[in-house]
Amino acid sequence: MTINGARILLPTVYNCLIFAILLPLFSTADDILLPLDVKSKCPGAEDAITKAVTNAVAGNKGLCAGVLRLHFHDCFVRGCDASVLLDNSTANPNPEKDSIPNKTLRGFQVIDAAKIAVEAYCAKNKSCPTNGCDPVVSCADVLAFAARDCVKILGDFFYDVYAGRPDGTISIAQEAVDNLPAPFFNITQLQSSFAKKNLTLEDLTVLSGAHSVGVAHCSSFEDRLTSINSSQINVAFANSLKQKCTNGNVTVPQDYVTPDYLDNQYFINNLNNTVLFFSDFALRTNTITEDYMEQFGNNYKLSNPNTWKDKFKCAMQKMGRIIELGPNQGEIRKVCSAINVS
């Protein structure tokens, strides 16, 4: 189905309410994502990706936070088409990867390792020509599955992912600047940015919870330390950051309480004015998003202690189904950093 110019691919089975409502509206097979093992005609493909991702981040779980950010930055520009993975080339001389918002992306090696592993696994039992098998799993799908696996590694919860995202062949740096929400955005700008992707204020708040893992460069929030507004940032917290941020290239944890665990601590921190970005604090300036934050920040006092995690699973599934390429467009890349050569 197409909403606001973006094609949203729906699964055959999906337990989140929004898609239960929308499901009857699709009419063609082109609008359905399928389980990876079915789509790729390669039983075990999903497990091959999971094993590769687990091995790739074994010595540095922080890479998983990078993979989550990669997936987000991919889906917000041209949909989930792996355009963020493309290197500079004649076809794409100024790709998304080289844009200012994407200069600090990491985790590319995790996706490369998973792509190599799944294609090797799927080729193992095939009779391929001398020049090798055609690829069967798109890089966009690999990235979506890797992000899901990283959620399991960092937060110990799981959600289903379906396959069928084509890889794009176009990547433009300016489009990353134009589409990605910036750390200095106010709530109006954030709401507009997410609405363009058919994501709601609830989705915005829920997905912001990913800021409970990973690190941030001091340059992305140093303006908040220049003139400290005690109504927006805890003074002791700000002074601590000042001591650590000796220059803009220094990195600090986004969540100083549970920095390596994907949980609801981000919302508790935000309610206590101990978050890094102005865009984080901006969620406090809207009654709807602030109410969501209070729900998620206090969710361990509720009858369902997994309130935020359940919402996060649905929001990740929803974001992962933003597809702007039409049927029969795109390709399945052989190498994630380069388009296929005819």
Number of C-alpha atoms within 13 angstroms, CB side, residue 208? Answer: 35
Give pLDDT, residue 29.
Answer: 31
Return the sign of the alpha-carbon dihedral for residues 33, 39, 44, 45: negative
> Is residue 162 pLDDT above 90, yes or no?
yes
Is residue 283 pLDDT above 70, yes or no?
yes
- What letter would DSSP give residue 34? B
**Set 39, 73, 165, 224: catalytic member:** 73
Q: Which of 41, 39, 36 is nearest to 143 (CA)?
A: 36
**Nearest 10 degrees: CA dihedral of 4, 141, 93, 185?**
50
Average pLDDT, the chain: 89
Confidence of residue 296 (pLDDT cuts 50, 70, 90): very high
Amino acid at 308: W
In a domain, 336, yes or no: no
Instruction: Select the more confidently predicted residue: 59 or 131.
Output: 59
Letter string b/e over residues 65-87, b meaning 16 or more CB atoms within 10 A of that residue's CB: bbbbbbbbbbbbbbbbbbbbbbe
> Taking the CB of residue 341, how many other CB atoms lie within 10 A of it?
6
Contacts of 151 by beta carbon, 8 Å cutoff, 6+ apart: 68, 157, 158, 159, 262, 312, 313, 316
- Together in a domain, 28 and 141: yes
Q: How many domains does the chain have?
A: 2
**pLDDT for 31:** 56
Q: What is the CATH number of the domain that holds 31?
A: 1.10.520.10
What integer is the mean pLDDT of 266-291? 97
Lowest mean pLDDT among 61-70, 189-198, 226-235: 226-235
* Residues of the domain holding 258: 187-315
Query: Residues 238, 246: contact at Cβ < 8 Å?
Result: no
Report the percent of the chain where pLDDT is more than 90: 79
31 is in an annotated binding site: no
- The reply, when asked if residue 263 is annotated as ligand binding, is yes
Q: How many helices (H) and strands (E) does the chain have?
A: 15, 7
Portion of the chain with pLDDT greater than 70, in percent: 87
Check whether 25 has a pLDDT greater than 70: no
| Predicted local confidence at residue 23, as pLDDT | 33
Q: What is the CATH number of the domain that holds 201?
A: 1.10.420.10
102: closest CA among 170, 171, 173, 150? 173
Task: Please check the confidence at residue 112 and state whether its pLDDT lies above 50.
Answer: yes
Check pLDDT > 50 for residue 155: yes
Is residue 244 domain-shared with residue 262, that is, in the same domain? yes
Average pLDDT over residues 159-165: 95
Provide the pLDDT for residue 20. Answer: 37
Q: Which of 181, 206, 228 is the last residue of a domain?
A: 181
Report the 3 state secondary structure along 43-110.
CCHHHHHHHHHHHHCCCCCHHHHHHHHHHHHHHCCCECCCHHHCCCCCCCCCCHHHCHHHCCCCCHHH
Is 74 annotated as ligand-binding? Answer: yes
Q: What are the beta bridge partners of residue 338?
A: 335
Residue 299 has what pLDDT? 57
Residue 9 structure tokens: 């691919």
Contact 163, 39 (CB under 8 A): yes
- Please return the burial class of 122, using the count of CB atoms within 10 Å of its CB with bins 0-12, 13-18 and 19+: buried
pTM, full prediction: 0.91
Relative orientation angle of helices 108-123 and 62-75, to the nearest 10 degrees: 80
* Residues 200, 74 within the same domain: no
Compare 237 and 27 and report the one with higher pLDDT.
237
Which one, of 6, 7, 4, lies nearest residue 31 by Cα?
7
Q: Is 320 annotated as a binding residue?
A: no
Average pLDDT for residues 225-246, to the nearest whole number?
94
Position 342 scores a pLDDT of 73
In a domain, 337, yes or no: no
Q: Is 73 a catalytic residue?
A: yes
Q: What is the mean pLDDT of the segment spanning 310-338? A: 95
Q: Tell which wins on pLDDT, 8 or 242.
A: 242
In a domain, 335, yes or no: no
Per-residue pLDDT, 181? 98
